[in-house]
Structure 1
Amino acid sequence: MSIFKKLGWFFRQEKKHYLLGVFSLIVVAIVQVLPPKMIGLIIDEIDQKQLSGSKILLWVALLTLAAITQYGFRFIWRTNIWGSAAKLERSLRSQLFHHFTKMDHLFFQTHRTGDLMAHATNDVSAVQNVAGAGILTFADSMITGISTIIAMVLFVDWRLTILAMIPLPLLAVTSRVLGSKIHVAFRDAQAAFSDINDKTQESITGIKVIKTFGQEKEDIADFEEKIAHVIKKNRRVNRYDALFDPCITAIIGISYGLTIFLGGHYVMEKTITVGQLVSFISYIGMLVWPMFAIGRLFNVLERGNASYDRIEELLAEETHILEDEHGLTEPAHGDLAISIDSFAYPDYPEQTILRNIHLKVEEGKTLGIVGKTGSGKTTLLKLFLREYDNYQGTIFFGAHDIKEYRLQALLLSIGYVPQDHFLFSMTIRDNIRFAAPKSTQEKVEEVAKIAAIHEDIEAFPEGYDTLVGERGVSLSGGQKQRISIARSLMLDPELLILDDALSAVDAKTEEEILRHLHTRPKRQTTMITAHRLSSVMHADEIIVMEQGTIAERGTHVQLLQKHGWYAQMWSKQQLEAKIERGEQ
């Protein structure tokens, strides 16, 4: 029953609706004990040959009135109890989604996508059942059971009632034992469901890679193994759940047996009438639902309890990026001043990724960042986006440290094109104007031309109304990159970050994009990481990263004169370009 205490905040919030629902259940319970009594009286009148046509009409009218009354009040409790449960579902889904949107990069590294989806679907549904089916079952079983027992005492015989109740304590013991086992089993089943959910999402997303490497059979085998694990865990839940009904049936059978034995004796002794015995047997039949309901109730409550614990654990996690509630709300602008003494990822605090990074980028200038894979280029950019705050040092954007800005103000000042470009399942136009959905077509085309993608889009049959498919599956890598660049330019950001964002375009297109960026009327500060040095050769300053620190720095010409890593890589790439062009 602890789940009711955990959801106390919601029941207090929806108190009026639940009280009205429970009141309607009480009315239904009172009204439904009357028909068996009426039937018993009718049987006694038949036995005594006193039933007339007018009495039949009266009894039929009373039974019809009881049915209509039950119908009306059942409608009331359904709309109030189930309606409130739907509000809880909406509230939990909203809380989870809001929580996901505010969490940091580390959170999504720790939790798999499929697991988060399971929390937002199966777990929420299980908790919603507590507020709906759980409350209904608890209130209805208690009210129906108590009203039926009272009717058995008042309308038939108290001794017979006590005898029929003797087996019922067995139900409480059974429910307690099986309920605790279901709680543990269902928690394991939900965790297994999260695994299969994550596997499905990952396989569908990576289906091209799976097919390319001919791993369909292996992936299917892995999927079937996980399915078998889920089935195994759910069989355990179902096994415990299935034990409730046989136990309740046995207990009810004992009650029927005792009732028929003693009730028949009372009829023979004229203590009760035949009609009263029939009524009593009908009341025992009415007790079947409350008893079965207790078994169902423990099932619902334990499932909901396990799921709510999982949701609470997730919501209790806090982002490592602490935002100043009274931080700066105006857009960030000005020079960039970077002074990073050291940085290590939270998962590996002993492994320093960046150290002694000290540089300044004047407003409107371009900084090129190059280096070997794993040298720390992308990591440095992540600090600008405040994906991590646990570095030793400062990063100033204009006159203020980036930690002094509200995240919304900071991030809206930055246009970011990541290595792994992500497009949504919508039109090209809506993907480009994602951050500014009310932008005009003229603005969309303007940034598309800067990104050298306008002509490609115009060549599509549907033009800017072309649906790109999930994650941009219908587009080439270069087209997705250029659409991502156009999207980043929609808000005219103060800082444009291109994280190896030109790797999938040819040299001619790359040159065109960079020329457009440098000749814009409003030239923003730009940071470009690249493996192809032609992407940064026109930068105002270039830094060469090596093992997390700056190994070389200067302009393109200055770095060539140093004959270091940059000069060697430039010569190598120029030679490769000549070979591709067929030159000697």
Structure 2
Amino acid sequence: MSRRKYDVRLFRQLSWFFIREWRRYLGAVSLLILIAILQLLPPKIVGLIVDGVTQHSLSGSKILMWVGAMLVTAIVVYLLRYVWRVLLFGASYQLAVELREDFYRQLSRQHPAFYLRHRTGDLIARATNDVDRVVFAAGEGVLTLVDSLVMGCAVLIVMSVQLSWQLTLLALLPMPIMAIVIKRYGDQLHQRFKLAQAAFSNLNNQTQESLTSIRMIKSFGLEDHQSQQFASIARDTGEKNLRVARVDARFDPTIFIAIGFSNLLAVGGGSWMVWHGYMTLGELTSFIMYLGLMIWPMLALAWMFNIVERGSAAWSRIRSLLSEAPTVTEGAHNLPEGPGLLQVAIRQFTYPGAETPALRNINIMLKPGQMLGLCGPTGSGKSSLLSVLQRHFDIEQGDIRYHGLALTELRIDSWRSRLAVVSQTPFLFSDSIANNIALGRPGATQQEIEAVARLASVHDDILQLPQGYETEVGERGVMLSGGQKQRISIARALLLNAEILILDDALSAVDGRTEHQILHNLRRWGKGRTVIISAHRLSALTEASEILVMQHGVVAQRGQHEKLVAESGWYRDMYRYQQIEAALDEDDVNEGTVHVK
């Protein structure tokens, strides 16, 4: 597809906005036409004044009257331009809001596979810089096009019909050459601006990663290395933007050179016509002033091509994301009310782009009130199983059912509303602890927030903070320990009061005593609810109704804690090792206590 066709497609893709806001655009276009007509009056009046003065046919009072008319015209044009800009930018700001809402909605619908392909900094750049460019092209660009065409056509008609079509044709001879040169600049600008936006995305990525990992960078003494890396990316971004600026800087000089030649031809040809009596001096003066009015339409057209090229390059980046369908398709059914039977029958699951299956031959049946434990060595498939349970990915062979309905038949929101999940890497927003706990239920009372904090054994820790539940946790909960962040995340999940609670190694950062207390509270809270716990520390699974030992994506062992400890295998070996490790740690603590005494 050629660049020019793609520009047309940009406006067609945004036609829904133009149709919906037709009143604003029609009002702005009508005002522009009226402005163009009013701007034709001053050159005509100046020509009349010049002829009247040279021919001694105008009195001083009439000259003042004409000057007053030009002043009134200028004031009216100023006011009308103010109104049409209000109409234009009011619509443009609304377009920006809606495009960003669509962009965010698209990001929220995507699944982990999408975020494996797109980095955070790039997504931020598209949602901010690229959207601004598209809005500018669809708003200011369209109106500039209309303004320049209306004004340019009106001036050409007056110059040709009322003054001299021969002189008009002579004066416009440089314009086709200018149009060809500007089109070439537009082609270059489109490609260079697309590369510049990609470089800006890389700069955003580097900035975001450096800021989020600043503590690790300082602890490893990598400040100079990261600074050099950032400087290199910043230089590359600057060079690509400079290449855009070099093309951008050619537009205005080209136009002014063309305008200069037009004026030269107009003055030369017009002087000859005045000398031979084909025009009056006043008519030539009006013609030169009308030609001056052509400067804005030509500048505006070049500017319009400039911003449309930038907008089309930005739109191609946005469109590539907006048109990307989620890997998980939406079902049509809602779940019936109340807890139900969870059935898992996975014959095989493979990650997109991978060759080796991540899960094979997994069959689970969980009734309300039961607890399922998941364990196994690193990379055994625990997190993969939890991902497909949350429907981050769809299963190629097999299915998962709840209330007898396959997850693929359900609306994603309907299914996920039954889940409360605590991941192994808890995320806290830069907000108060109370608001972080109440994330899923913003209307929760303080009593409800404190009740789930007690269940998660974090209430006492919170009270020791400077402002208690109103303490700001900083970005990503930077002022809290790992165990505190995990327990606040557990409290947040419990507040949802969901039918299925999933804990993905969510107790790894708490000590054994706190873990025991949380599990005791969960057993009391989880009556009538399904609880799924994935853990490396096997003491967290001793009360589970059934434990699955995962190895290489398959279930190597299954059963309750007593059964698995009694039979040989990974579970018994790891449990004994962890018991010895815990005993040694306790002896170390006791020895330290005696030494202090």
Aligned pairs for 1:140-539 (under 5 A) are 140-325=147-332, 327-331=333-337, 333-348=339-354, 350-520=355-525, 522-539=527-544
Q: 1:564 aligns with which of 563, 566, 569?
A: 569
Match of 1:4 in 2: 11
Q: 2:93 aligns with which of 86, 90, 97?
A: 86
How far did residue 332 of structure 1 move? 6.1
Q: 1:69 aligns with which of 68, 76, 88?
A: 76
1:24 correspondence with 2:31: yes
**Rounded Cα–Cα distance in structure 1 between residues aligned with 2:526 and 2:368:** 14
**Rounded Cα–Cα distance in structure 2 between residues aligned with 1:77 and 1:232:** 37
SS in structure 2 at match of 1:352: coil
Give the TM-score normalised by structure 2. 0.94
Contact 2:336–2:403 (CA<8 Å) still a contact in 1? no
What do the CA deviations read for 1:42-92 (whole angstroms, capped 9, x no partner)? Answer: 222332344433213311321122123212321232122222222222221
Matched residue type, 2:321: L
What do the CA deviations read for 1:258-288 (whole angstroms, capped 9, x no partner)? Answer: 1121222223233323222222222222111
SS in structure 2 at match of 1:356: strand
Contact 1:337–1:397 (CA<8 Å) still a contact in 2? yes
Matched residue type, 1:335: L
Which sections of structure 1, spanning at least 5 residues, go unmatched?
A: none
Matched residue type, 2:135: Q
Q: 2:122 aligns with which of 115, 123, 141?
A: 115
Relative to structure 1, the CA distance from residue 390 to residue 34 in structure 2 (aligned partners, 3 Å threshold; closer, same or farther) is same
SS in structure 1 at match of 2:174: coil
Match of 1:125 in 2: 132
Relative to structure 1, the CA distance from residue 331 to residue 388 in structure 2 (aligned partners, 3 Å threshold; closer, same or farther) is farther
Contact 1:155–1:276 (CA<8 Å) still a contact in 2? no
Give the TM-score normalised by structure 1. 0.96
**Rounded Cα–Cα distance in structure 2 between residues aligned with 1:129 and 1:305:** 11
Segment of structure 1 superposing worse, 245-254 or 55-64: 55-64
How far did residue 155 of structure 1 move? 4.2
What do the CA deviations read for 1:298-336 (whole angstroms, capped 9, x no partner)? Answer: 1111111111122222111111211212x1243562232
Matched residue type, 2:350: A
Relative to structure 1, the CA distance from residue 569 to residue 404 in structure 2 (aligned partners, 3 Å threshold; closer, same or farther) is same
Segment of structure 1 superposing worse, 530-539 or 264-273: 264-273
**Rounded Cα–Cα distance in structure 2 between residues aligned with 1:268 and 1:400:** 93
Matched residue type, 1:106: A
How far did residue 402 of structure 1 move? 2.8
Matched residue type, 1:557: E
Q: 2:550 aligns with which of 545, 548, 553?
A: 545
Contact 1:330–1:409 (CA<8 Å) still a contact in 2? no
Count of matched residue pairs: 582
Segment of structure 1 superposing worse, 544-553 or 402-411: 402-411
Contact 1:517–1:523 (CA<8 Å) still a contact in 2? no
Segment of structure 1 superposing worse, 335-344 or 150-159: 150-159
**Rounded Cα–Cα distance in structure 2 between residues aligned with 1:458 and 1:450:** 15
Contact 2:430–2:472 (CA<8 Å) still a contact in 1? yes
Relative to structure 1, the CA distance from residue 402 to residue 153 in structure 2 (aligned partners, 3 Å threshold; closer, same or farther) is closer
**Rounded Cα–Cα distance in structure 1 between residues aligned with 2:340 and 2:274:** 98
Matched residue type, 1:208: R
Contact 1:368–1:543 (CA<8 Å) still a contact in 2? yes
How far did residue 487 of structure 1 move? 0.4
Matched residue type, 2:524: T
Relative to structure 1, the CA distance from residue 391 to residue 153 in structure 2 (aligned partners, 3 Å threshold; closer, same or farther) is closer
Contact 2:348–2:395 (CA<8 Å) still a contact in 1? no
**Rounded Cα–Cα distance in structure 2 between residues aligned with 1:286 and 1:336:** 75
**Rounded Cα–Cα distance in structure 2 between residues aligned with 1:455 and 1:211:** 32
How far did residue 455 of structure 1 move? 0.7
How far did residue 401 of structure 1 move? 2.6
Q: Determine what percentage of the aligned residue pairs are the same residue.
A: 44
Contact 1:185–1:236 (CA<8 Å) still a contact in 2? yes
Which sections of structure 2, spanning at least 5 residues, go unmatched?
A: 1-6, 592-597
Relative to structure 1, the CA distance from residue 217 to residue 521 in structure 2 (aligned partners, 3 Å threshold; closer, same or farther) is closer
Contact 1:332–1:409 (CA<8 Å) still a contact in 2? no
**Rounded Cα–Cα distance in structure 2 between residues aligned with 1:199 and 1:13:** 39
Q: Give the root-mean-square deviation of aligned CA atoms.
A: 1.7
Relative to structure 1, the CA distance from residue 319 to residue 521 in structure 2 (aligned partners, 3 Å threshold; closer, same or farther) is closer
What do the CA deviations read for 1:460-486 (whole angstroms, capped 9, x no partner)? Answer: 121111111221112111110000000
**Rounded Cα–Cα distance in structure 2 between residues aligned with 1:95 and 1:64:** 47
